[in-house]
Amino acid sequence: MAIKFQYNKTSLQTLDKQLKVRQRALPTLKNKESALRSEVKRARDMAAKLEKELEQELRRYDDMVRLWGEFDASLLRVEDVILSAKKIAGVQTPMLDEVRFDIAPYNPFNKPVWFPDGIDILRKLAEISINREVWLRKMELLEHARKKTTQKVNLYEKVQIPGFEDAMRKIKRFLEDEENLSKSAQKIVKTRQEQEVQL
């Protein structure tokens, strides 16, 4: 990225202000990036843990597969998933508050004895699965924010700050050269005037 500037003191002051803004912001951005990185890892680990928990729960009921054929799946449905938002390093992320289920009325005398337990099992599996999805979504949001922050850190660190420093160095050299030329010209004029006075 080429930084546009003019060879004057106003441009030098403007570049200096922009450089200071970036230098002050850089440590904050690095801290944010670090915090986001650790939160992404935490969310990934939590989603993996919930995935394992779901698999373990499903394996626990493998021996009941034949019974699930009798189960009426329409008895239980997810009515509502209540989420709240939590800010992590400036990023709004979802938090699971509650999963509400709707249990259709059924006659316990016409259904097998294990149906209430089956409803509880399905409820537990659904809650684990929904919670896992929320953690995966949180991980996606945090990962996106981390990538953006990393890009900004790299832009500041590798492009803009060195670019501003280089532009300021060029302006300072130009102004110094201009000042030296002006002084030299003044000396030459003074010397000529002294020579003319002596003649």
- What are 137-161's pLDDT values in tens digits? 999 999 999 999 999 999 999 999 9
What was the pLDDT predicted at 199?
65
Examine residue 81 and state whether it is found in any structural domain, yes or no. yes
State residue 38's pLDDT score: 95
Helices (H) and strands (E) in the chain, counts: 4, 2
pLDDT band at 80 (very low <50, low <70, confident <90, very high): very high
Q: Can you tell me the distance from the alpha carbon of 70 to that of 11, in angstroms, rounded to the nearest whole number?
A: 80
- Number of domains the chain is built from: 1
Residue 96 lies in a domain: yes
83 contacts 97 by C-beta, under 8 angstroms: yes
Asked whether residue 27 is assigned to any structural domain, the reply reads yes
pLDDT (tens digit per residue) in 85-110 = 999 888 999 999 999 999 888 877 77
In a domain, 176, yes or no: yes
Task: Give domain status of residue 106, yes or no.
Answer: yes
pLDDT number for residue 117: 83
pLDDT of residue 36: 95
Task: Examine the pLDDT at 136 and tell me if it is beyond 90.
Answer: yes
What is the rounded distance in angstroms from the CA atom of residue 16 to the CA atom of residue 129? 53
119 in any annotated domain: yes
Read off the DSSP letter of residue 158.
Answer: I
Decide if 134 is inside a domain: yes
Within 8 A by CB and 6+ apart from 193, the residues are none
**Secondary structure (3-state) at 94:** strand
Q: Residue 110's pLDDT is what?
A: 78
Using only the alpha carbons of the chain, give its radius of gyration: 35
pLDDT in tens, 11-70: 999 999 999 999 999 999 999 999 999 999 999 999 999 999 999 988 887 777 777 667
Is the pTM for the entire model greater than 0.85?
no
pLDDT value at residue 1: 59
Strand partners, 77: 102
CATH of the domain at 158: 1.10.287.3240
Range of the domain at 48: 9-184
Buried b (16+ CB within 10 A) or exposed e, 122-146: beeebbbbbbbebbbebbebbbebb
Provide the 8-state DSSP code for 2. Answer: P
